[in-house]
Structures are given as structure tokens and as C-alpha cells.
Structure 1
Amino acid sequence: MARGELMKKLLASYGREEEFRAVAEQIIGEEEKKNNRVLARSLRRSLDAGPARSSRPKALAPLIPFPEAAGDFVELVEPTHNKQDIILSPENIRIFLGLLRESRAADTIRRRGLAVRSKLLFCGPPGCGKTLCAEIFASELGLPLYIVKLDRLISSYLGETATNVRKIFEFARKQPSVLFFDEFDALARARDEDGEHNELRRVVNSLLMFIDRIQPKGFVVAATNLDQSLDPAIWRRFDEVIWFDRPDTRMIARFLKMRFKNVAVSFEPEAHLAELEGYSYAELERLCLQAIKASIIDKRKIVRERDFLDAIADERRRRRRTSRMTAA
């Protein structure tokens, strides 16, 4: 192939790792055939010195269009985090590693007539990593992540909710993806709750049927902060239920170390573990960022202990006020 054509193919394949490397190998091969061995060796060294190949599997299929009627309450999320950005309990690490291994051996498992776990329920208080974990899980699988905002679906389409949910599940059946139902309790609440709308009860009945029947190409993941509100029949529809608890002191210490890894500090954040007990990851993230911003505002290169303590005091005030509102 002419050198100019190869260069055009190389530029056109930029961003697609396997194609880019294949064209680069062709160019190197052409130079070797011409006896330009010094140039060929130099090109190969440059290629080998580039970023390591990703061990993450590729998406199983190209993206298909999401049903137009469902576009208002579904969002394709581009991953911005990786597994270094999350801290999980040892139990949850074991579960997710098992799910990843099972997914990668899915064809072999199905050939033996066995089902692959593909319907997951995440439970736990707000800010403890459920949404972040869904993003990183999708990224590790090499699958696109679609987030379904059920609160918007119900408020806007109450009379059509069951139809729209059916469209969502039909999409999950065709598209290899991680389909993430946020605030799942908004849709799957107990049918015997006093004053529950008849339409919503019908939706829960439909939802139970959809979850039962679907064999998704990827994963269906539902998350709830209010697991006690879920309809009792929901639980057995999921292959795996994973609890995200508030971090213990060991996990808080790991989080602080990770958060201040690239920041100069004049104190030991871990010395304040007792004051941070019971905080969620979202609260810890907020107070760490506030401490860092205080040093930036004062044009200092070091975060002082006073910055950190003030941020803790602000977060404590916020928790105290919001707890009153939720209790009212």
C-alpha cells in the first residue's frame, strides 16, 4: 500500500487503539521491506513506549439508538472515574470481582445451561458510592452506562409509566450496557402503602414482570436509599443484592489518604478519624475539597489543619440542619 494511504489510515484510526496499532505495524513492516531498518526500529520503539494496551474488554456491540420516547429520562454517561477512585469494603470487592469474572466467562457458563448474574440491586444511604460504583463497574466491563432518572419518568409520564419502563427493558435486552435505575424506590415502592396511586401499583406489577423475564445483554442495576420501602416481591427478582454502608474508620483513613495524595498538608488528616465517624463519602469529599479551596483562596500552597477543622465544622452544621428537616 502506498505510504500516503497508510498515513491517511493511521490518522483516521486515531483514538481506536487496536486499529491504530495495526496500521502502525503495517507502516513499520513497509519500512523493513525497504531496508530502512534504523527508522523501523525507531518507530517500533515509539509504538512500544506508548500507553499500555487496556486490559478492559471492548463493548460487545455498537450503540443502538435509545427509543425516542424514553430520551427524556435516560442519559448516556461517559466514565470519568476508574477503580482507583473508589473504596469498597472487602466483602463488596469480593462480590464485584466475582461478577466481573463471571461476565467475562458468560458464554462458557451459558453453554453449560447456567444463568449469568446480570440483575443487581444496590442498597445504602446517600453518598456511599452506589452511582460511582455503577460507573466504574461499567468502565471495567467496557460497556456504556445509561442512567434512568425514575423520578422524572414518574412525574412527567404517570399515565404512561408502564409503557416507558417496557421500552427501557426492551432496550436493555438488545444493547450490551449497564442500565442504571437511580432512586429505584420511587418506582418499586410497596404496593400496600396507604394512599398509593392505583396507576403506580399497576406499574410495580409490570416492573416485577419485566425484571423477572429480562435476560439483559449487559447488566440491569437498581439503586435505592430506602430499601425498607421496596415492595417485598422485588428482592427475589435480583441475582445479587449489594449493600453500601457508611465507611468505617479504616475506610475513612484510606479515603483521606487518596484525597490528599497530590496535595501538600501541614497536618495528619488521619488524626481526625474519630470526628469523621459516620460520615458518607460524599460528605468527606465535600469537606476535603472545602479545606483545599481555603488554601487556594488564601494563596497558600499548603492545606493547614485549621482549614480542615473549619471544613469539618461546616459539614457538621450542615448535617445538623438537614437532619432536622428530614425528621420533620
Structure 2
Amino acid sequence: MATSEQIKSLIRSHCDNDRERFLTIALQVAAHEAKKGHDGIAHDIRSLVDKAKSGSGKVIPFNREFSDLVLASSPSTQISELILAREKCDRIQRIILEYRQQDKLKKHGLGNRKKILLAGPPGTGKTLTASVLASELKLPLFTILMDKLVTKFMGETSAKLRQIFDLIRARRGVYLFDEFDAIGAERGRENDVGEMRRVLNSFLQLIEQEKSDSLIIAATNNAKILDHALFRRFDDILYYDLPTTDEIIRLIKNRLCEFKPAKMSLKTTIMAAEKLSHAEIGQACDDAIKAAILSDRQKVTATDLKAMLKERRSAYGYSSS
């Protein structure tokens, strides 16, 4: 049987939502049982730990009160999956490092970066970045469903927003406000609505007062329409762009993996991928892989890949290359 200290540590790590520590202690329990000659129990525990480690993207059960406002998940996305400029990856690594060593910063009266604004075109890696941060920090990812948050009834959206911030304080995690411009648009715009001004004012006050250990991430496709007062409320602002030539090559190689053809004309492939986002290039690679599988081929042909890339371009009205 596990020692009383191990049982207490398991309960503490579960309550703290510290998945990595929980699994580590579980392995310690397995080792303890093996030493006592309980090989069957030790084997079962190790198998359960291996199964837990191999699982990805599992949905976390949620209280009914928040189930219509927040989508909770446990991503396992590694930072190596982010194909971005080195400078941007370094800044994401800095957020991770500061979070992990926040106690060291607190001793000097400093805080870690915990309120992050991500801005850029759709499909360029903003949501993926939130998944990476959650995965690397062993935290759950809570995505705020903006279509459920914003309502037409006076005062209801602000009330729901306060509920979200209550949750942020009560349950440590990475909180993603996707399509943030739904509530963060600049006050005084031509199509401005008085109710949304009040919602934005509420958000400004709530994020200013927020002192929890959670990470708050706001993502927008159009930073230009955000209210200027928002920018100083964030500890870091990362701007995303369509992939560069080098990133296109890395994206294709990473996505095709063992299906990558031995020879490929990079010049014509890059031309076919111009103006496409990271996500669109990834989807085109997946389509090319599926074509190879259905044709009983072990490699993607350059012709198939270019055709899939051009198909994506034509869907957005881009001229063929």
C-alpha cells in the first residue's frame, strides 16, 4: 500500500491541478509496491501512468454553471510544433520561464508575464500558442466562448464576464479569449453600442485588478480596432504574420514527415503556398497525405502537394502560380 505521505502528496497535486507531479508520485508509489513484491500492482500503476501520458487533448469536465461559457481541455502540444520566427519563439519561452520561476521574481518584488495579447491574421499560430503554453506549463486550457459570453440583454454580458474572472481566480489555468475584438473594440467607433462600451470598461477594470496565478491570453485578428486603453493592461504583446519562405519550408517538412518525397522543387512549392497561413499550409499537407494513402503510396508527390496548395489559394480567391 502507498505510504500516507504519498497519498497526501497525490491529493495535493490533484487539488493543485499539477498533472506532472501527480504522475511522478504515482510512479513512486509503483516503485514502492515493486519493492514490497507487489509486481502486479506496480505494473498496473505504471500502465495507467503511461496511458495518461500518451493521452492528448482530453476534455475536462466542467461545472454546469460555466459549461456554456467555457470550453476546457488538456492539450499536449509541444513548443517544437510552433513554426514561427526565432524571436517570437524566444518570447514564448520567456513567458514559460517566468511562470515556472515566478517565486524567484516575487522575492524581488516582480511579477511574471501573465496577461498576453496575441494579434495577427487567422491561422498564423495564436490559438496554437495558447495550447503550447498550457501544455508546457502543465495547466488546463480554458477557451472562453465569445458567442455565448456576448448577449443582447443589458448588463448580462458584464455579469458573465465577472463570472469568468471569478473562475480565473478560483481555478488556475490558461484562459483564452479568442476573437477578443468582440468585446475589445475601440470605444467611440461608428458602430459602437453603449452596452459594449460598458463591457469593455468592465474588462479593463477586471484585468487591471487580476492577481491570480492563471495566464490570460487575448487573441485578435485585427489589433487596429482594439481600444488603446487595452494595450497597457497586457504584460506582453505578440504580433503574428503569414509564414516566411523559411517557415513555409519548415512547415511542409514537419507536416509531411515520413510522407515527404525524396525530391521536391522548393521554389514552385513556395510559390504555390504564398499568401496562405500556417494552418492552411498544414491542411494542404494533410490533404496531400490523404491522397497518397488512398492511392496506396508511401510518399506524397510534389504534384499532389502543389495541387492541394493551389486549391487552398483558389478557395480564398488568390490567383494561381
**TM superposition score category, shorter chain reference:** 0.7 to 0.9
Q: Which amino acid aligns with 1:21?
A: L
- In structure 1, the residue matched to 2:5 is none
Distance 1:287 1:157 in 2: 42
Would you say 1:29 and 2:35 are equivalent positions? yes
- In structure 1, the residue matched to 2:286 is 289
- In structure 1, the residue matched to 2:317 is 320
Distance 2:179 2:230 in 1: 14
Distance 2:89 2:284 in 1: 26
Q: Give the C-alpha shift of residue 276 in structure 1.
A: 1.9
Q: Which amino acid aligns with 1:194?
A: E
Distance 1:66 1:298 in 2: 46
- In structure 1, the residue matched to 2:23 is 17
What percentage of residue pairs aligned between the two structures are identical? 32
Cα deviation 1:168-227 (Å, max 9, x = unaligned): 111112221001100000111011111311111111111111111111222010000011
- Which stretches in structure 2 are left out of the alignment for 5+ residues? 3-19, 54-59
Picking from 180, 188, 196, the partner of 2:176 is: 180
Distance 1:227 1:158 in 2: 26
Moved more, 260-269 or 290-299: 260-269
Q: Which amino acid aligns with 1:310?
A: A
| 1:197-236 map, 5 Å | 197-236=193-232
- In structure 2, the residue matched to 1:36 is none
The answer as to whether partners of 2:184 and 2:226 remain within 8 angstroms in 1 is yes
Q: Give the C-alpha shift of residue 25 in structure 1.
A: 2.1
The answer as to whether partners of 2:102 and 2:112 remain within 8 angstroms in 1 is yes
Q: Give the C-alpha shift of residue 100 in structure 1.
A: 1.3
The answer as to whether partners of 2:253 and 2:260 remain within 8 angstroms in 1 is no
Distance 1:158 1:72 in 2: 19
The structure whose Rg is larger is 1
Q: Give the C-alpha shift of residue 67 in structure 1.
A: 7.2
Q: Which amino acid aligns with 1:133?
A: T
Would you say 1:161 and 2:157 are equivalent positions? yes
Distance 1:269 1:143 in 2: 41
- Which stretches in structure 1 are left out of the alignment for 5+ residues? 3-14, 33-38, 55-62, 323-328
Picking from 200, 215, 234, the partner of 1:238 is: 234
Q: Which amino acid aligns with 2:280?
A: E
The secondary structure found in structure 2 opposite 1:125 is coil
- In structure 2, the residue matched to 1:275 is 272
Aligned pair count? Answer: 290
Cα deviation 1:252-272 (Å, max 9, x = unaligned): 111111011121525416342
- In structure 2, the residue matched to 1:35 is none
- In structure 2, the residue matched to 1:133 is 129
Distance 1:175 1:118 in 2: 15
The structure 1 segments of at least 4 consecutive aligned residues displaced by more than 3 Å after TM superposition are: 63-67, 155-159
- In structure 2, the residue matched to 1:248 is 244
Distance 1:269 1:76 in 2: 42
Q: Give the C-alpha shift of residue 282 in structure 1.
A: 1.2
Distance 1:157 1:312 in 2: 44
The answer as to whether partners of 1:67 and 1:167 remain within 8 angstroms in 2 is no
Q: Which amino acid aligns with 1:93?
A: C
Q: Which amino acid aligns with 1:184?
A: F
- In structure 1, the residue matched to 2:297 is 300
Root mean square deviation, CA, Å: 3.1
Distance 1:310 1:28 in 2: 56
- In structure 2, the residue matched to 1:57 is none
| 1:75-114 map, 5 Å | 75-114=71-110
Q: What TM-score, normalized by structure 2, do the two folds share?
A: 0.81
